[in-house]
């Protein structure tokens, strides 16, 4: 059971189970904007197809400009949408559904952008971070799919080929010219680690581009939230705990703390059980009382399509979360 966060956080009169309707709040308005997630998957899918024949970033003139404009538009869309709500963040933590490489690139863009918002980045650097997240693993597109998707134990030679993908990404993105030199550097450095234990060059500390530090953490976080042949997928709070145990020295304290603040307790999309026996999905966070988010509870017997009520747990001391039961994968 999760320990209570004080008996009466706001000094209000206790709310009984019978008056729970009094603390029901309107749920967040459904996201009605463009489906940037789908557009990112489609753009990266086209990039994957063209990468099998040649470096797509070698396109000449207007074709190359149009390609980068498309990715920048998607990155901008993610930034604007995340500044308004967490629809795409919920989607990113729900687990991969399509190509693992493409889903990872999209999810890392979203997760890294959320961390950048916590740091205090303004819109322009956030767009740069989102763009770098989208393209951080382009070097993987140069590797055979049979190697990347191999569920078995890799030979030393195959492991070395995979460890070269940051170099491949750097070479590919360098063809974009000086304007995107920073982007090539981020792709080259996102597997470097603060303590010097990363690859390919063993950079440490401030030698590593700040975007690469953020994206590196988001990349591991996303990997942990998706299954591997040797383990099940972790829930967000479990993934944070694993990072703290295994990777704490690999990243600056600042972004580790941000990760804890954003994802360690009950992130958006987490399915939780209340002490009333009801099961709901976290739809809004409460930064002041992180143990007491807003939870959407389905009512009636009509299944997922039934009417839902939203309950603000910060408004009552009698109702609280007792356990995490999963992550909503809808939407």
Q: Between these two residues, 23 and 284, which has the higher pLDDT value? A: 284
pLDDT at residue 331, as a whole number: 45
Q: Where are the domains of the chain?
A: 17-29+267-327, 36-263
3-state secondary structure of 289: coil
Question: Does pLDDT of 58 surpass 60?
Answer: yes
For the chain, strand residue ranges (E) read: 24-25, 270-274, 279-284, 294-298, 308-312, 321-327
Neighbours of 315 (CB within 10 A): 19
pLDDT at residue 183, as a whole number: 98
For residue 296, what are the β-bridge partners?
Answer: 281, 310
**What integer is the mean pLDDT of 167-195?**
96
How many residues are given for the chain?
331
- Classify burial at 139, counting beta carbons within 10 Å of its beta carbon; exposed 0-12, middle 13-18, buried 19 or more: buried
pLDDT in tens, 200-258: 999 999 999 999 999 999 999 999 988 877 788 887 778 888 888 888 899 999 898 88
Name the CATH topology of 36-263: Hypothetical protein af1432 (1.10.3210)
Average confidence score pLDDT of the chain: 84
Token pair recorded at residue 273: 């059980």
Phi, psi of 2 (to 5 degrees): -85, 135
pTM of the model: 0.78
**What integer is the mean pLDDT of 111-134?**
96
Helix-then-strand count for the chain, H and E: 12, 6
From residue 91, alpha-carbon distances to 36, 67, 78, 82 in Å are 11, 25, 12, 12
- Classify burial at 109, counting beta carbons within 10 Å of its beta carbon; exposed 0-12, middle 13-18, buried 19 or more: buried
3-state secondary structure of 251: coil
Q: Between these two residues, 150 and 38, which has the higher pLDDT value? A: 38
Q: How far apart are CA 111 and CA 182, in angstroms?
A: 20
Residue 235 makes CB contacts below 8 A (sequence gap 6+) with 225, 270, 324, 326, 327
pLDDT at residue 134, as a whole number: 98
Percentage of the residues of the chain whose pLDDT score is greater than 90? 47
Pairing of strands 270-274, 321-327: antiparallel
pLDDT at residue 171, as a whole number: 95
pLDDT in tens, 266-284: 777 788 899 899 999 988 8
Confidence of residue 196 (pLDDT cuts 50, 70, 90): very high
Residue 87 makes CB contacts below 8 A (sequence gap 6+) with 31, 81, 331
pLDDT at residue 214, as a whole number: 97
**What integer is the mean pLDDT of 132-158?**
88
Shortest CA distance to 189 belongs to which of 220, 216, 160?
216
For residue 308, what are the β-bridge partners?
Answer: 298
3-state secondary structure of 297: strand
């Amino acid at each position: 059971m999760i320990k209570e966060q004080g008996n009466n956080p706001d000094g209000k009169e206790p709310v009984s189970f019978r008056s729970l309707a009094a603390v029901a709040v309107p749920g967040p308005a459904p996201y009605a904007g463009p489906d940037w997630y789908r557009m990112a998957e489609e753009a990266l899918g086209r990039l994957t197809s063209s990468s099998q024949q040649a470096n797509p970033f070698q396109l000449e003139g207007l074709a190359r400009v149009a390609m980068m404009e498309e990715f920048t538009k998607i990155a901008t869309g993610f930034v604007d949408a995340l500044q308004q709500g967490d629809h795409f963040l919920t989607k990113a933590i729900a687990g991969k559904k399509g190509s693992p490489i493409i889903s990872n690139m999209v999810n890392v863009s979203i997760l890294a952008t959320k961390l950048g918002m916590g740091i205090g980045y303004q819109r322009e650097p956030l767009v740069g971070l989102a763009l770098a997240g989208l393209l951080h693993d382009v070097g993987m597109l140069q590797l055979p799919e049979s190697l990347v998707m191999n569920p078995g134990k890799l030979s030393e030679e195959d492991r070395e080929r995979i460890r070269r993908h940051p170099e491949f990404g750097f070479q590919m993105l360098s063809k974009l010219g000086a304007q995107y030199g920073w982007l090539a550097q981020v792709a080259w450095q996102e597997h470097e680690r603060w303590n010097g234990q990363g690859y390919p060059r063993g950079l440490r500390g401030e030698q590593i581009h700040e975007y690469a530090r953020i994206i590196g953490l988001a990349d591991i976080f996303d990997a942990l939230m998706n299954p591997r042949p040797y383990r099940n997928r972790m829930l967000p709070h479990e993934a944070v705990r694993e990072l703290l145990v295994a990777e704490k020295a690999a990243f600056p304290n600042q972004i580790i703390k941000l990760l804890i603040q954003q994802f360690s307790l009950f992130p958006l999309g987490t399915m939780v059980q209340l002490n009333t026996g009801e099961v709901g999905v976290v739809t809004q966070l409460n930064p002041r009382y992180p143990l007491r988010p807003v939870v959407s509870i389905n009512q009636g017997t009509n299944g997922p399509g039934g009417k839902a009520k939203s309950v603000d747990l910060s408004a009552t001391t009698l109702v609280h979360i007792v356990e995490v039961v999963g992550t909503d994968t809808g939407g």
